[in-house]
Structure 1
Amino acid sequence: MSITTQSNWYEVYRNKQKIFDLWAPNYDLLFTTVFYQAVHQRLLEYVELPENPNVLDLGCGTGRLLHRLATQFPTLKGTGLDLSSQMLRQARQSNQHRPRLIFKQGNAESLPFTEGQFDAVFNTISFLHYPQPQQVLFEVNRVLGEGGRFYLVDYIGRKKTVSFSIPLFTNNLRFYSREQREQFGTVAGMECLGHHFLLGPVMLTIFRRIGSGG
């Protein structure tokens, strides 16, 4: 990887962090609250977890999904990871499931966790932000235990990657087709168990870790 490429990716993440830090205080008051609630409710219909599960939520934002998981699975322990310190501040302030839920700042492309640490990983409307999506899948595979599942929820693209700009974001967001999602998983050592539409063009893809990890 060139120094220029590293610098560009660092700038991408720094800009996104600034935006979400600004949004954080009022984030749960936006229309996204109703939208995410609907998506989460549909997602929970497909979630299968072992007894006493340990899960990770990438791009956890204000912690709403982890809260719903902890409510539905009373023995669940969960970690939320987000780039935005202000989103994490909101998540910690509204955390009703201490000490079962904790929140950490970090980057999805370089997860600060050990191999095989989690039974399941969730990623909801966040994958579209990542400059290196394949690296995220490698990291998810690494931190999943054998047979662990990755629940990827995001807008679905067509056969080719769809990229477009949204005001406030300085770089394109990327939507991937189901075929591209499957390819990311295969390269990382995961099996695709299926795709499910949750709400409009928002699709859930479920992966299972089958390899020894990297």
Structure 2
Amino acid sequence: MQEDIFIRQKQFFFDIWAKFYDFTLTTVFYQAIHTRLLDYINLPSSPLILDLGCGTGKLLNRLAEKFSDLKGIGADLSPEMLTKARLANTHHPRLIFVRADAHDLPFANNQFDAVFNTISFLHYLQPEKVFQEVARVLKKGGYFYLADYLGNNQMKKIFFTPGGIRFYDQVQRQKLASQAGLITVDHQYILGGVVLTIFQRP
């Protein structure tokens, strides 16, 4: 019951934000993160990827521009964000956008070569479940790219959106990954306190 309320509140928050999401300074910062992120990714030929918490689809479109053989699915909780993403989709049918809850993904086991999550993980109610779902849908040898604010020991939860937002340092990220059966490959500071942590399914 608590999780259902949390999901509805988060969806409502992002549905409202979607109306002006692409016109805020926050989004400009996110796009700069996407640019830096491209320097660290490793994809096979003809990859199938998942962008979890895709928002208006900026990262997926950027990836599709760089990798001409890439196919991708953008998943988000907010129908309004997905509407914006579909309207801005310049790579259909290589890219599609679907509504999904990160705690219970509607995808098959071993489906994706890579999963991306950018400034979204801090919103999740049960991070351990999200890691388990990512590990489940990743192919063996696939990578999970998690880019989010690191925070610090005094700032673990801030009440900004419904349910607040939470920060996880490198040790906490590695613990969540290990519990889900993923290996931590690297941590990289990419921009303004945002750390990219790369995981792999062995």
- 1:157 aligns to what SS in structure 2? coil
Structure-1-length-normalised TM-score: 0.92
Distance 1:157 1:209 in 2: 26
Maintained 8 Å contact 2:13/2:162: no
User: 1:140 is matched with which residue?
Assistant: 134
- Of residues 77, 80, 83 in structure 2, which corresponds to 1:83? 77
1:61 corresponds to which letter in structure 2? G
Distance 1:91 1:14 in 2: 20
* 1:23 Cα deviation from its structure 2 partner: 1.4
Distance 2:10 2:172 in 1: 24
Matched, 1:37 2:31: yes
Maintained 8 Å contact 1:116/1:144: yes
Closer/same/farther in 2, CA of residues 132 and 184 from structure 1, 3 Å limit: same
Deviations 1:131-158 (A, max 9, x none): 1001000000000001000000100033
Maintained 8 Å contact 1:185/1:192: yes
Distance 1:198 1:93 in 2: 29
Maintained 8 Å contact 1:52/1:75: yes
Deviations 1:142-190 (A, max 9, x none): 0000100000010003357711111xx2322100010000000001001
Closer/same/farther in 2, CA of residues 46 and 140 from structure 1, 3 Å limit: same
- 1:25 aligns to what SS in structure 2? coil
Matched, 1:173 2:188: no
Matched, 1:199 2:191: yes
**Structure 1 spans left out of the alignment, 5+ residues:** 1-6
* 1:9 Cα deviation from its structure 2 partner: 1.3
Alignment of 1:13-32 (within 5 A): 13-32=7-26
1:114 corresponds to which letter in structure 2? A
Closer/same/farther in 2, CA of residues 159 and 178 from structure 1, 3 Å limit: farther
The alignment's C-alpha RMSD in Å is 1.1
User: 1:209 is matched with which residue?
Assistant: 201
Closer/same/farther in 2, CA of residues 158 and 126 from structure 1, 3 Å limit: same
* 1:98 Cα deviation from its structure 2 partner: 0.5
1:68 corresponds to which letter in structure 2? R
Structure-2-length-normalised TM-score: 0.97
User: 1:190 is matched with which residue?
Assistant: 182
Distance 1:64 1:176 in 2: 24
Distance 1:161 1:151 in 2: 23
* 1:11 Cα deviation from its structure 2 partner: 0.8
**Structure 2 spans left out of the alignment, 5+ residues:** none
- 2:18 aligns to what SS in structure 1? helix
Maintained 8 Å contact 1:61/1:91: yes
Count of matched residue pairs: 202
Distance 2:48 2:154 in 1: 35
